[in-house]
Amino acid sequence: MPPAITLRAATAADVPEILHCIRGLAEYERLAHECIATEALLRESLFGDAPAAQVVLADAEGETVGFALWFRSYSTFLARPGIYLEDLFVFPAWRGRGVGRQLLAFLAQTALERGYGRLEWAVLDWNEDAIRFYTSLGAVAMSDWTTYRVAGPALAALGAGRASAAP
């Protein structure tokens, strides 16, 4: 019989486990060089005066085996909030055991209970395993949309009104 998976809302005491999950995700996505998260930053941004996101941890056999980090989004077309899943990660030894499915089902249930209109996320285009998994759940790729990001020096320049028209 497979081990029981327990889902629970993270608390400030879980910050080291959350950081462990984030670093595991960064390695998997080949982006460890971009991961500057620290326990102090997570403690403030997740459990400070104005929490920016929520975290659900998946535990099994006395250890954290995965997590989902999400925040409330908003759809003007639906005129309702939604859930934006920023990160979903299951440690390799626990993949294929239903952990990811349970985390996503929890978020879907949360969205329904709160009257939210949707649950959405992004996936790296090379992550074929995740794409197959998401498709098997009924998720639909939003291939007509392209995600844009402004960060680092470009964010500072734009915020200061110095953004150039050319890349």
Which of the residues are catalytic? Answer: 134
Enter the tokens of residue 81.
Answer: 């909030």
Best CA proximity match to 20, nearest among 2, 5, 42: 42
* Residue 50: exposure state from Cβ atoms within 10 A (0-12, 13-18, ≥19): exposed
Q: How far apart are CA 83 and CA 90, in angstroms?
A: 19
Residue type, 9: A
Residues with Cβ within 8 Å of 53's Cβ and at least 6 positions away in sequence, in order, are 45, 46, 69, 70, 71, 86
Integer Cα distance of 46 and 56 in angstroms: 12
Q: How far apart are CA 132 and CA 139, in angstroms?
A: 10
